[in-house]
Structure 1
Amino acid sequence: MNPSTWITFLIVIIFPYSHGYLNLYLNLREVQRLLGLEAELYYVRDGSVNQYALNFVVPVPSKIDSLQFTWENLAGYPLPYSIDVTANSAALYPPQLNISATGNVPRSSQIFSISLPCTGLAAAEVMITININISVSHNNLTSLVLKRRKICTKLEKVPSSRVLIDSMPSYSKSTNIFYFAVGTAAVMIIILALFVILFYVRNKKDKRTVEYNNRPTSSFLTTMPRNTVSSTYNESCRSVPSYSLLDERSKDLQERIAELTVQRCRVRLSSVVMEGTFGRVYLGSYTTENAKEETVIIKTVSDHASQVQISLLLQEGMSMYSLNHKNVLSILRVSIEDHTAPFLLFPYKNTKNLKMFLQKCKLSPEGVSHTLTTQEVVDMALQVIHGIQYLHKKHLLHKDLATRNCVVDDKLKIQIADNALSRDLFPSDYHCLGDNENRPVKWLAIESLLHKTFSTNSDIWAFGVLLWELTTLAQQPYIEIDPFEMAAYLKDGYRLAQPINCPDELFAVMAYCWAMSADERPTLTQLQVCLQEFYTQLTRYV
């Protein structure tokens, strides 16, 4: 049984004998850090001891050098404790508690930690035993034994500073700390001075760059080959130069781009599909290695776009890199050359933006271009759920799920896309709340709006808004609410109203997604079951 299955099993099964004197558990962040799961793991809950959880040996990866536990005294009177941590191995330094080894369990929820630094002298799996004894009464002692398996790797060179500090006698540590602090301050002063000098040099360089860029140049669109590329394109194509991202830390992103890069001469633009202030979406084609021409959607920016906008296009456009699912639109190729805007190529199968498609379904002087039935709406919602489930299994959060970031074909097949250029192409859907960041305020979960925290549950909130968009043919949510008042509006319990002609069953699913507490929102599996059952009921009457 793998760790994920074990933890799911351990969270559910708890011994029924409750005394209500103690909580001891791993919080959401700790379980996510150790096991990559969105859950809490209780060893003792309201006095009930989870023996299954105690018997489970939790693996601790080499990159994690500390453990965290959350506990709380529920008894209403002092609960004395003693903690002993043992680990005998040359691969691990003696574990250290950040609290005293004996004392009383705190009466409010608090976190204590145990440091587990590896020595780097040997590679080993070190078994760590944590003994926690809690005196419930004079004749009642609760003993909890928790085990961890710490992975340590051998380093080619062990940091000498660590060995020296740990081997020093206690009376000399304070003196060395003083000298260390003085030395650190001196280094910081030197670094600050270097930073000022570098800033001055960089500023002068930027001024020269601006002067150079302001010289008359031809648009990157006018330098593109207009004719169909022949099978001998390799002979005429220039080699692709390196491209420096604004975010130098994004080394992984640069490696991904390198894998997908094609020469610019293999790409041909046909017509503009969408256009914003600086963003453009084209219909075009590119020639494959087999000299076969393939129709694609091309995302790019205009020649006056800033480096920040170019960097955002690449980062957000590459977020769906190497994904393979029928309900996810993954990037196909990238074309980058010096002094031109990057091209991001996506597969095209007669698809169109979902929001624009829904808006065209509304009544117009020419009539109705397409009438969506409730059955079709539910089927489209189920496809979105399948796509989000796939993303979450790949440990990816979308963070901007909406109809504007989906595409649909003539058979109403949905694909979830990235949010590259969305802020520019759909400016009315994004707002800045004084933090210099455009966000989809009216699609955000309450915790994302207040604290900028995102999780699978925040994606589920956004799915509820997307479902509301499907039933209203892409009306603007909360159109009467000022963006600055959204947080207060949601905290007071207000939500989107039930759309006209929206079945109660469908609106109940939306409302379920907008629970104030993230933990009370449904899982994607629960949403899938509810919508699938409703879809089955609808098909019986067709």
Structure 2
Amino acid sequence: MKFSRWALIITLVNVLLYVEKCSASLNLYLRTQEVQRLLGVPAEMYYIRDDLISLHALNFTIQLTPKINDLYFTWENTGGTKIPYSLEINTSNSAVIPKTDVNISTTGSVPSVTQTFMVAVACSGLVEEEVQISINLNLTFPNDNTNTLKFSRRKTCLDENIKNYVEINTLPQFTNPSSIFFIAICCAVILISILVIFITINFLRYKKIRSTESGASEPTNTTTTTFLAALPRNSVNASSYGSFRRMPSYSLIDDRSKDLQERITELTIQRFRVRLSSIILEGTFGRVYQGSYINEEEKEETVIIKTVADHASQIQISLLLQEGMAMYSLNHKNILSILRVSIEDHTTPYLLYPFDNNKNLKIFLQKCKVSSEGVHHTLTTQEVVHMALQIIKAMQYLHKKHLLHKDLAARNCVVDEKLNVQVTDNALSRDLFPSDYHCLGDNENRPVKWLALESLVHKSFACASDIWSFGVLLWELTTLAQQPYIEIDPFEMAAYLKDGYRLAQPINCPDELFAVMAYCWAMSAEERPTFTQLHVCLQEFYTQLTKYV
């Protein structure tokens, strides 16, 4: 009996060791935007998180409205072992939903980078019926164990030839003249109120125009600092691109867009000169391609192309243009400035950037953990400091031009095979790296865990706030792009920082380098160093490192 018990324990241990050895790391979930669209709840829904399957989520049947024709799933394999899959979609009535489609192959391997794929389930519009949709995903893990995940959806389809409405008399039936008189009085009061509001708005608008015209001759302050994201992101006051070639139908977000329109006009090229080759990064609505374009000398030039999907909203298109043009006309070897823009009516805009075998710095650092891609060894302290010095030079140039970045992070930098780093704008970053941005109830996604305390609390930005973000970026370099403050809830970040807590010193990070980070995170903005001081300090440290083999 005692021997059998020990044999059972040894067998269980061997099984656990086998599972640990053969396991991969798989995440499969619905992003916040998708859950908000389907259920009206701003939260992510995980079906698999780090290989742990949520049976509760899988057993939950989501009801789809007739207008929802596309379903979006996000997945990634962060382990080093491939996970083959096969995908099958079935419906309970093919006459109601005659065709289902996906924008990925039905067989293949789970991608090693975060990817969102789409399942199309459009109704025929000929039959009115509720249809059961079953999406079956077969996953084969490294231990040859195949799991079948079944996602259940129920969709109501309508017959478009029938008027899908019912006439309802919403007014109560009154049986006496006094009630009718009361209704008439209420309608008159409402009509008068609307007229008064309309007249007031027009009067204020006329007064504003007159005051603007009268103050046009007054001198303006040319020393005011401009921001890379100067236009407000929450305003919906739109103006048209009247000055563009081809008269595109997009709209910008602010009246102060005249200068931006002129910049885009200067860079605009015809669409037939641009050719898309392959997708590098993809989000819910944003996409980054490698491609080429024919320049003015009729020579083909390799470029990076940022654009959005066809289902992107007007505001998302406007933000792409606004943030993509942030570094227009900047000329520095450590800054990746926009090269060209392609805008034509009824098509999504293309933003073109120079390409020199550079990759996103955050993804590059993450891959250094698991493979030799990019470099054939683990990054040394000397290489980390060298990259940090290049970023400092770029930020010195930006501040010299009276520009603030406001979103300095590894995701907004690129690096090539020789570890040459360039700082980029933050166009599409919210969509491509959604876990780095959070909304704190103000309807604005912000890089909460990269922001200085004053930026987080008061939305106040200055050179010192970019210094704080650089400290977090330096921490990313030394940790190979780990998530900062991963255990802290975004809503608690302000209180956490006010209490004096900061990021911990990374493993194998020299004390001299961590001291630089700590100076960047001083509570008072006046106590933080400038980029010039940081350059002197890190350059001296880099010189000392080069003395050793």
TM range (shorter): 0.5 to 0.7
Q: What are the superposed Cα offsets for residues 208-241 of structure 1, whole Å, 9 maximum, x if unpaired?
A: xxxxxxxxxxxxxxxxxxxxxxxxxxxxxxx733
The answer for the alignment partner of 2:270 in structure 1 is 263
1:285 corresponds, among 292, 299, 303, to 292
The answer for the alignment partner of 1:245 in structure 2 is 251
Query: 1:102-251, aligned counterparts within 5 Å?
Result: 190-192=199-201, 240-249=246-255, 250-251=257-258
After superposition, the CA RMSD in angstroms is 2.3
Query: 1:419-430, aligned counterparts within 5 Å?
Result: 419-430=426-437
1:346 equivalent in alignment to 2:353: yes
The answer for the alignment partner of 1:501 in structure 2 is 508
Contact 1:398 1:459 in 2 (8 A): yes
Q: 1:189 to 1:424 in 2, by over 3 A?
A: closer
1:452 equivalent in alignment to 2:462: no
Alpha-carbon distance, 1:371 to partner: 1.4
Contact 1:377 1:470 in 2 (8 A): yes
What amino acid maps onto 1:241 in structure 2? Answer: M
1:518 corresponds, among 513, 525, 549, to 525
Q: What are the superposed Cα offsets for residues 186-209 of structure 1, whole Å, 9 maximum, x if unpaired?
A: 99861437999xxxxxxxxxxxxx
Alpha-carbon distance, 1:312 to partner: 0.2
Q: What are the superposed Cα offsets for residues 106-160 of structure 1, whole Å, 9 maximum, x if unpaired?
A: xxxxxxxxxxxxxxxxxxxxxxxxxxxxxxxxxxxxxxxxxxxxxxxxxxxxxxx
Alpha-carbon distance, 1:384 to partner: 0.3
Unmatched 5+ residue regions in structure 2?
1-194, 206-244
Q: What are the superposed Cα offsets for residues 83-102 of structure 1, whole Å, 9 maximum, x if unpaired?
A: xxxxxxxxxxxxxxxxxxxx
Query: 1:362-401, aligned counterparts within 5 Å?
Result: 362-363=369-370, 370-401=377-408
What amino acid maps onto 2:247 in structure 1? Answer: P
Q: 1:434 to 1:537 in 2, by over 3 A?
A: same
SS at match of 1:319: coil
Contact 2:375 2:417 in 1 (8 A): no
1:412 corresponds, among 408, 414, 419, to 419
Q: 1:266 to 1:449 in 2, by over 3 A?
A: same
Q: Distance in 1 between matches of 2:261 and 2:318?
A: 11
The answer for the alignment partner of 2:495 in structure 1 is 488
SS at match of 1:434: coil
Worse overlay, 257-266 or 240-249: 240-249
1:439 corresponds, among 425, 436, 446, to 446
Contact 1:240 1:263 in 2 (8 A): no
SS at match of 1:273: strand
The answer for the alignment partner of 2:539 in structure 1 is 532
SS at match of 1:286: strand
Which of the pair has the greater relative contact order for Cα pairs under 8 Å at 6+ separation? 2
2:468 corresponds, among 448, 461, 471, to 461
What amino acid maps onto 1:341 in structure 2? Answer: T
Q: What are the superposed Cα offsets for residues 296-315 of structure 1, whole Å, 9 maximum, x if unpaired?
A: 00000000000000000000
Alpha-carbon distance, 1:500 to partner: 0.1
Paired residues in the alignment total 316
Q: 1:529 to 1:263 in 2, by over 3 A?
A: same
Alpha-carbon distance, 1:247 to partner: 2.2
- TM-score (structure 1 length as normaliser): 0.56
Alpha-carbon distance, 1:244 to partner: 4.2
How many percent of aligned residue pairs carry the same amino acid?
79
Q: Distance in 2 between matches of 1:436 and 1:341?
A: 25
Alpha-carbon distance, 1:400 to partner: 0.1
Contact 1:243 1:336 in 2 (8 A): no
